A = this chain, B = another copy of it.
Amino acid sequence: MAQSTSSSNVPQFTSDGQLVLPANYREWVFLSSGLGMTYGPTAGTVPNPTPIFDNVFVAPAAYQSFLKTGKWPEKTVLVLENRSSATKGSINKAGQYQNDLVGVQVEVKDSSRFEGNGWAFFALGKGNSGPMIPRTATCYSCHPANGAVDNTFVQFYPTLLAIAKEKGTLNPTYLAAPNQAH
């Protein structure tokens, strides 16, 4: 857990093509968290009484590259960690804090390995590795259509959104959208 090798900055795969969970991703750079974020229609639904937190971490080397260029380099690895929320615990009375791990998804940019725009998604659950999410999943259409930078939702990472604005790397489709995140 305390190890921090340079190789852990880039995606690692098993012999059958599964992505290996970066062992030290909790020591990577935190981009942001959300609670119960919902992209689909909400009409007719009731608020979830126990919404899920998501934390996003990126490999340090890719983060440093983004600070300089406003873009993600090849071999970028982004980890999306989902955790349950709780309200009543210790002295907390209202609001939500983070609790148990629910599962992990990972987004990887590797044009030498993946077709299309070079990005792929992996579902790891609570495991140490996991398979690529099938190309038919909505993440493969939603991310390039709605992400603020390349294939990623930089509009929800406030410190990086400022960098992307400064570097002029926001996607034209994001800039043309009627309702930006900020």
Q: Is the CB of B34 within 8 A of A156?
A: no
In whole angstroms, how far apart are the Cα atoms of A40 and B55 in the complex? 26
Tell me how many chains of this kind the complex includes: 2
Asked whether A90 and B36 contact (CB < 8 A) given A30-B30, A51-B95, the answer is no
How many residues on chain A are close to B (CB under 8 Å)?
58
Q: Which residues of B contact A1 (CB under 8 A)?
A: 67
Q: Is the CB of A40 within 8 A of B93?
A: yes
B-binding residues in A (CB < 8 A): 1-2, 26-27, 29-30, 32-42, 45, 47, 51, 53, 55, 57, 60, 63-64, 67-68, 83, 86, 88-101, 142, 146, 148, 153, 155-156, 158-159, 174, 177, 179-182
